Amino acid sequence: MTIRSGAPVVVGVDGSAAALDAVRFAAREAALRHRPLRVVHAFIWPLMGQPLGPVPGAPSDAGLRAQAERYVTDAVAEAGKTAPEVAVTGELVDGAPTPVLLRESRDAALIVLGNRGLGGFAGLLIGSSAVQVSARADCPVLVVKGEPRADGPVLVGVDGSALSTEALGFAFEEASLRGTSVVAVHAWLAPTPLGPGDMLPLVYDVDAVAAEEKRVLAEAVAGWTEKFPDVPVRQLVAHGSAARVLVEQSATAQLTVVGAHGRGAFTGLLLGSVSHAVLHHSHSPLAILRHHKQDDRS
């Protein structure tokens, strides 16, 4: 699948403070990418059989639909203040949030979401829509969490899988747009099997394995440094949990990037264990890639 040259950055809004944070972030992303911004509110109430207009005797601008339209209007206005040079449109789309956003992802360059919405439960770290859309969207999904910062590197997790290669490419592109560096992280706990049926040694040379893991990371990064010679890169190989290392490093990053699934992901899971943990605990905004779509410049 390709991204049309005019494909928008899409941001989902629901009237919450987190959604307005996402709008501001999405406006800046659209400006960096020279793309339009599309603001979408998923209007679920028609599916619930609820009356949408004002009750008798109420002002004409009362009612659920009027309130939802204000969410979109306010978000469009906020985007315009954040990035006046970006063309911004807004739409109220009937449907539940996850299906609406997944449909939007088919023609979007990027989906931007707040980490929590109006319907979030106090005990949850992340909203259910953010989890489901991140796992199933047809374009990269950026979840705005932590304190957005203008400095710091773009952090990316690398595990040797095809999807982590795409995550590396996205990270280098973002770093180039932002005028910053990339920190590529590869964490390991034990020797990695090279193919189905491979037996792992019960005893192994830690130094030899560490050297091999450094080689794997260097090879993964090499092609992208050639494509983005303007982007400085630091390679970090750590012996430990990939999720823990990425969460720790995200504290000084302006963006963290991961693939939705790595080499060890189980087919039935929405997200791999690493991406799921980083989504919940990252200190920076997080981009999750499930599919890669090349720009169509023709």
What percent of the chain has pLDDT above 90?
49
Per-residue pLDDT of 121-176, as tens digits, reads: 333 334 567 778 888 899 999 999 877 788 999 999 998 888 888 999 999 999 99
For the cut 90, the answer to whether the pLDDT of residue 114 exceeds it is no
Nearest-angstrom CA–CA distance, 192 and 181: 28
pLDDT score for 127? 55
Local confidence band at 109 (pLDDT 50, 70, 90 cut-offs): very high
pLDDT score for 132? 83
Tokens 């939705």 label which residue?
Answer: 260
For the cut 90, the answer to whether the pLDDT of residue 240 exceeds it is no
Local confidence band at 64 (pLDDT 50, 70, 90 cut-offs): confident
**SS3 labels along the chain:** CEEECCCCEEEECCCCHHHHHHHHHHHHHHHHHCCCEEEEEEECHHHHCCCCCCCCCCCCCCCHHHHHHHHHHHHHHHHHHHCCCCCEEEEEEECCHHHHHHHHHCCCCEEEEECCCCCCCCCCCCCHHHHHHHHHCCCCEEEECCCCCCCCCEEEECCCCHHHHHHHHHHHHHHHHHCCCEEEEEEECCCCCCCCCCCCCCCCCHHHHHHHHHHHHHHHHHHHHHHCCCCCEEEEEEECCHHHHHHHHHHHCCEEEEECCCCCCCCCCCCCHHHHHHHHHCCCCEEEECCCCEEECC
**From the CB of residue 160, how many other CB atoms can be counted at a distance below 10 Å?**
16
**From the CB of residue 283, how many other CB atoms can be counted at a distance below 10 Å?**
18
Per DSSP, what are the bridge partners of residue 258? 288
Rounded average pLDDT over 254-274: 64
**Lowest mean pLDDT, pick from 24-33, 107-116, 257-266:** 257-266
**From the CB of residue 291, how many other CB atoms can be counted at a distance below 10 Å?**
14
Domain residue spans of the chain:
9-144, 154-289
Of 116, 145, 134, 147, nearest to 15 (Cα)?
Answer: 116
| CATH architecture, domain defined by 9-144 | 3-Layer(aba) Sandwich (3.40)
Please state the pTM of the whole predicted model. 0.81
For the cut 50, the answer to whether the pLDDT of residue 249 exceeds it is yes
Per-residue pLDDT of 216-230, as tens digits, reads: 899 999 989 999 999
**What CATH number belongs to 154-289?**
3.40.50.12370
pLDDT score for 200? 54
Of 201, 194, 167, nearest to 182 (Cα)?
Answer: 167
For the cut 90, the answer to whether the pLDDT of residue 266 exceeds it is no
Rounded average pLDDT over 178-187: 95
Find out whether 41 and 93 touch, Cβ atoms under 8 Å. Answer: yes
Rounded average pLDDT over 286-296: 68
For the cut 90, the answer to whether the pLDDT of residue 251 exceeds it is yes
Calculate the average pLDDT of the chain. 81
Nearest-angstrom CA–CA distance, 69 and 51: 15
